[in-house]
């Protein structure tokens, strides 16, 4: 009896191992078709000579990369992308932690506040960005009207008038779009921290700041790490905001890599160069994600 059950068990175990692959198969097929194939195709395109009609005309070596790196505006585009990503994620992170802490407290209308916070995230970014473009408008924008009424300025400010000021404005828009999702990820992290810690700390006489820095933030760290990696990727790859507000103007001075690659493909008809930018972006993000995880995991095991 005994042996037969153990054989049965083993059989069952082997079966379920195969079964696992069976269940995974559809997902793997989909991931291959929709993730790996396009990624590989982009890599191939980036080292190919591509005609205006989009036809691959043979191996082009690193010519597309040389071309892209040789563009005078490329440095500016990279700088824009880095500033865009770091400032966006950094500022959003600080603000999101504060918002998440507030929303984790019990107060009247908390449900409403949480819902309202989700709205900008649920709205199409195209619509959000168009609305902001009008808010920043020189002559008829709501922001100038508000500042004038409050007596903070005497004449209208041309927010979108220069590359630098327009870029700052777009980062502000980016932050408002990033905060909701960040806050909710962090909020779920906060909710998983047991209240026992706080009760014990209160008994020990800890004040608000002690609890924040010794309990909340350390225990929130896994959630923060996930949030940083995910949002860096989202923000880096964001296209809609810059495309809608300045479309890179003047002369790609406000372009991020995503907007620039669109410009190369659809305004210049240079698909090879566009693919090269795409690959460069992919490599940057991959390097960031690997380094960050390695560094963070090391730190976590060390502590």
Partner 1 sequence: MGAQYSDATEAYIQSVIDDFEAEHTNVKINLEIVGWDNIGTRIRSMVGAKQAPDLYNGGSAGEFVGDDLLYKAEDVISPELKADFFQVFWNNNIDPDLDEVYQIPYVASVRALYYNKAIFEEVGIEEAPKTWKEVEEVSAKIKEHYNGDVYAWGVDATLTEGQTLLAYYGWNNGGGFVDDAGNYIVNCEENVEALEWIYDMYQKGYTNENPSIETRDDMQKLVAADKMAMLVTANFFPALYPELEVGIAEIPYNDARVSSSSSMAVQDALIFFNENAKATKDTPEKMQAIQDFLDFFYSAEYYTDFMVQEGLLPATLTGAERLAKENPEQAVYIDALEGSKFYARSKQDWQDCSTGVCEAGQKVFTGMQTPKEALDELQMTLEN
The minimum distance between CB 160 and partner 1, in angstroms, equals: 6
The minimum distance between CB 274 and partner 1, in angstroms, equals: 11
Q: CA-CA distances (angstroms) from residue 215 to 191, 199, 219?
A: 13, 11, 6
295 binds partner 1 (CB under 8 A): no
Contacts (CB under 8 A) with partner 1, residues 87-146: 133, 138-140
The C-alpha atoms of residue 243 and residue 50 are separated, in whole angstroms, by 25
Judged by CB under 8 A, the residue of 33, 266, 293, 299 near partner 1 is 266
51 binds partner 1 (CB under 8 A): yes
Judged by CB under 8 A, the residue of 125, 252, 256, 278 near partner 1 is 252
Stretch that binds partner 1, among 89-97, 207-215, 268-276, 295-303 (CB under 8 A): 268-276
The C-alpha atoms of residue 73 and residue 6 are separated, in whole angstroms, by 69
Concatenated DSSP letters for 58-96?
EE-TTHHHHHHHH-TTHHHHHHHHHHHHHHHHHHHHHHH
Stretch that binds partner 1, among 103-111, 186-194, 242-250, 276-284 (CB under 8 A): 242-250
Judged by CB under 8 A, the residue of 249, 284, 285, 289 near partner 1 is 249
Closer to partner 1 by Cβ: residue 179 or 276: 276
Asked if residues 48 and 38 have their Cβ atoms less than 8 Å apart, the reply is no
DSSP 50: E
The C-alpha atoms of residue 93 and residue 237 are separated, in whole angstroms, by 18
Contacts (CB under 8 A) with partner 1, residues 147-206: 158, 160-163, 166
55 binds partner 1 (CB under 8 A): yes
257 binds partner 1 (CB under 8 A): no
54 binds partner 1 (CB under 8 A): yes
DSSP 106: -
Q: CA-CA distances (angstroms) from residue 286 to 91, 281, 303?
A: 22, 9, 26
Closer to partner 1 by Cβ: residue 99 or 133: 133
# residues near partner 1 by CB under 8 A? 31
250 binds partner 1 (CB under 8 A): yes
Closer to partner 1 by Cβ: residue 77 or 133: 133
Give the 3-state secondary structure of 120-161.
HHHCCHHHHHHHHHHHCCCCCCHHHHHHHHCCCCCCCCCCCC
The burial class, CB within 10 Å (0-12 / 13-18 / 19+), for 179 is buried
Cis status of the peptide bond prior to 250, with omega within 30 of 0: yes
Asked if residues 247 and 267 have their Cβ atoms less than 8 Å apart, the reply is no
The minimum distance between CB 249 and partner 1, in angstroms, equals: 4
Closer to partner 1 by Cβ: residue 222 or 250: 250
Closer to partner 1 by Cβ: residue 41 or 299: 41
Which residue ranges make up the site for partner 1 (CB under 8 A)?
Answer: 51-56, 133, 138-140, 158, 160-163, 166, 245-253, 263, 266-269, 271
């Amino acid at each position: 009896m005994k042996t037969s059950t153990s054989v049965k068990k083993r059989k069952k175990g082997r079966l379920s191992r195969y079964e696992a692959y069976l269940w995974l198969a559809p997902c793997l097929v989909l991931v291959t078709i929709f993730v790996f194939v396009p990624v590989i195709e982009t890599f191939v395109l980036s080292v190919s000579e591509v005609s205006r009609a989009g036809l691959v005309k043979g191996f082009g070596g690193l010519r597309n990369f040389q071309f892209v790196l040789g563009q005078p505006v490329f440095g500016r585009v990279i700088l824009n992308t880095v500033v865009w990503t770091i400032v966006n994620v950094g500022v959003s992170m600080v603000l999101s932690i504060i918002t998440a802490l507030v929303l984790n407290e019990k107060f009247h209308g908390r449900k409403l506040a949480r819902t309202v916070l989700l709205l900008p995230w649920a709205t199409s970014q195209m619509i959000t960005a168009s609305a902001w473009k009008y808010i920043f408008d020189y002559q008829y924008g709501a922001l100038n009207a508000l500042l004038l009424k409050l007596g903070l300025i005497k004449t209208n400010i041309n927010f979108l008038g220069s590359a630098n000021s327009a870029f700052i404005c777009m980062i502000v828009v980016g932050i408002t779009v990033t905060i909701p999702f960040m806050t909710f990820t962090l909020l779920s992290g906060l909710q998983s921290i047991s209240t026992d810690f706080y009760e014990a700390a209160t008994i020990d006489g800890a004040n608000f700041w002690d609890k924040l820095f010794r309990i909340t933030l350390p225990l929130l760290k896994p959630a923060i790490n996930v949030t940083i990696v995910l949002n860096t990727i989202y923000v880096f790859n964001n296209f809609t905001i810059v495309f809608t507000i300045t479309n890179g103007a003047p002369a790609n001075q406000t372009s991020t890599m995503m907007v620039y690659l669109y410009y190369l493909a659809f305004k210049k008809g240079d698909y090879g160069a566009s693919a090269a930018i795409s690959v460069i972006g992919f490599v940057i993000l991959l390097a960031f994600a690997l380094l960050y995880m390695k560094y963070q995991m090391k730190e976590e095991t060390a502590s």
